[in-house]
Amino acid sequence: MKLTVLLERGPFMSGEIKINQAEAQKGIQEMSDSLQALQKQLGETMDGNKDIRMSDVYNEIKQEYENLLDQFITLFQDNIAATETAVQELVELDQALGDNIAIK
C-alpha cells in the first residue's frame, strides 16, 4: 500500500488535501488478504523416539516459529484496525471541515 496515494491535492485549492478513501480501503483489504494467506508451513510435530535429538530440536524450532507467527499476526491485525480507524477519522474530519466551510 502506498501512503502517497491515499492523500491527493484537490483541484480547487493548491493547499487542499483530499482523502482517496477507495485507495485506502484497497490497501486495507490487501493487508487483510495477506494476513489471511499466512500459513503455518512447518508441518506437523515430529514424532519419534525421545532419544532422537533432531526431532526434539525441530519441535522446539517449530514451536518458536509458531509463537513468533502468532505475535506477528496479532500485530498485523492491530495495524489493520488502526489503519481503518485512522482512515475513518480522516474521512469524518474532512466531512466536518467541509460542512464548516460551507456554513461560513
d(CA 3, CA 15): 18
Q: What pLDDT band is residue 1 in, cutting at 50, 70 and 90?
A: very low
- Residue 2 grid coordinates: 502506498
What's the domain count of the chain? 1
pTM > 0.85: no
**Domain assignment of residue 32, given as a range:** 3-103
pLDDT tens-digit map of 43-84:
666 565 655 777 888 888 989 999 999 999 999 999 999 999
What is the signed CA dihedral for 85, 89, 90, 91, rounded to 10 degrees?
100
Higher pLDDT, 97 or 41: 97
Q: What is the pLDDT of residue 42?
A: 54
